[in-house]
Structure 1
Amino acid sequence: MAIKINEDGVFSGYASIFGKIDQGGDIVVRGAFSHSLKKRGVANIRMLFQHDPKEPIGLWHSIRETDLGLKVIGQINDNVGRGRELISLIRDGGIDGLSIGFRTVRASTKSRATARRLYEIDLWEISIVTFPMLDIARIAAPQLAQNIKQATKLLTSTQ
């Protein structure tokens, strides 16, 4: 198993992947985070555990949109009890989900039967979670992005 977190609690992953439908019926569109990231900056987007505002667990070093999705690099604070636990759980593969907390600014749907497309969202936190709404939003070894790109190409070429 590839190590997903270093000895200082630093990890990376994707908190959102563009164009993929989540369990709530939402699809985040490329560019949806750009205004929020400019407005808030990394320092004003919190790292929480399970979306609980009483459980801050670290700081984000980098949050940016790539061609794939919302790439994050963060550091869990090992001076916090929950932080020590999470570092251990991530190392052992017990938890690796990422999930975004946001307010919808601009979205659309064609009908109730289709997914809601999120064109602009106000991002206020990203959580480490047990079960992410978007199953592929994960803390991951560096090659996750390449694997997702390859899988997406395979899926689209066979359709």
Structure 2
Amino acid sequence: MKTKDFALEVKDLSDEGTFTGYGSVSGNVDSYGERVMPGAFAASLAKHSREGTQVLMFWQHNPSEPIGVWEDLAEDKKGLWGKGRLLMDIQRAREVHTLAKNKAIGGLSIGYREIKVTPDGNVRNLDELDLMEISLVSFPANRRARIEAVKSERMEEFARRLRDGDPMPIKEFEDLLRDAGVPKAMAVQIASVGYAKAIRSESEGVKANVMADLRSAVSAFLPNA
């Protein structure tokens, strides 16, 4: 069995032990020089459903330390999404819960067997994988997944500062758009025109209208904003 690590967004972890996160992110090359392709888990998830078996949840890939259950697993455009629940009657699960809530750990890692792999230059495309388990681990190795968590935090900071009347500087907002994938010219236009007008407006009525227009423009590129 091979393993591959991704980031867990601990903000989704509830006091009761439920959480959601991505056990795999599709389409990007990770630190192992491998790329999980969209649909790589489709056959495996269908097989688990058909045969009534479960993808297991371990601590650090240790089969002697099951800590919870996966209540739902599905593939979407981003990757392998999961809803999990730590079994809080288990001591290790309670320890993991405390560590995750305090961001002392931050990773999900899949345990799998390779079914179909194709070379793509120096990259190995993982086209089909037999998913066996998803563990909570200390160190996610997929850099993009970690960056996605950071982007989410920055977007939350942007929204909070707008609510508090302390908007971030124009250049910082432009960088936020660029990091989210907005093309440079468009990011400059949004930041230097609409955003700048909003934060410089002296009339609260005008400001509210401009802010509404700004949020609409941003949401077109950042649907989760």
TM-score band by shorter chain is 0.7 to 0.9
Q: Whose strand fraction is larger, Structure 1's or Structure 2's?
A: 1
* Pairing 1:27–2:22 present: no
Per the normalisation by structure 2, the TM-score is: 0.59
Structure 2 stretches of 5 or more lacking a match?
1-9, 156-177, 185-225
Give the superposition deviation at 1:137. 4.5
Matches within 5 A, 1:52-91: 52-91=62-101
Task: Classify 1:151/1:90 alpha carbon distance in 2 versus 1 (closer, same or farther; 3 Å).
Answer: same
Task: Classify 1:109/1:17 alpha carbon distance in 2 versus 1 (closer, same or farther; 3 Å).
Answer: same
Please give the root-mean-square deviation of Cα atoms over the aligned residues, in Å.
2.4
Per the normalisation by structure 1, the TM-score is: 0.82
Matches within 5 A, 1:70-149: 70-111=80-121, 114-137=122-145
The 8 Å contact of residues 22 and 81 in structure 2, kept in 1 or not, is answered as yes
Give the superposition deviation at 1:135. 3.5
Q: Which has the larger radius of gyration?
A: 2
Task: Classify 1:108/1:76 alpha carbon distance in 2 versus 1 (closer, same or farther; 3 Å).
Answer: same
Partner of 1:18 in structure 2? Answer: 26
Structure 1 stretches of 5 or more lacking a match?
none
Out of 83-92 and 41-50, give the one that drifted further.
41-50
> Could you tell me which amino acid in structure 1 is paired with residue 136 of structure 2?
I
* Equivalenced residues, count: 147
Q: Whose helix fraction is larger, Structure 1's or Structure 2's?
A: 2
The 8 Å contact of residues 99 and 137 in structure 1, kept in 2 or not, is answered as no
After superposition, give the CA deviation of every residue in 1:85-115 in whole Å (9 maximum; x if it has no partner): 011111111112011100000011144xx11
> Could you tell me which amino acid in structure 2 is paired with residue 120 of structure 1?
E
